[in-house]
Amino acid sequence: MQNLGFREVLRVEKERAVYVLHDITICVDEVENLGSYVEFEKIGDDRETIENELFALANELGLSDFERRSYLEMLLEKQHTVK
């Protein structure tokens, strides 16, 4: 990656468990210095239908807080608020 001009800013350390429920991939991540996160993914063309299905699954599992930032963004933000 350094050959492309990228430089390491911060390393994101995580452990991931992957599950498949029908055609939905569910990733459970334990992110060092952040906590636990669940990520759903389903491949298809009908974005609205897929989003509704994923939100319904999240609701069924009791998940109600949604995060759009990347782990790197959250870690960098956390790092800046600690200083």
* CA dist., res. 15 & res. 13, Å (int): 7
Q: What is the mean pLDDT of residues 30-44?
A: 96
> Is the overall model pTM greater than 0.85, yes or no?
no
Angle ∠(15,58,38) on CA atoms, nearest 5: 10
Residue 2's pLDDT is 63
Q: What percent of the chain has pLDDT over 70?
A: 95
Give the pLDDT confidence of 4-18 residue by residue, as tens digits. Answer: 788 888 889 999 999
Confidence grade of residue 82 (pLDDT, cut at 50, 70, 90): low
How is 43-75 classified by DSSP, letter by letter? --S-HHHHHHHHHHHHHHTT------S-HHHHH
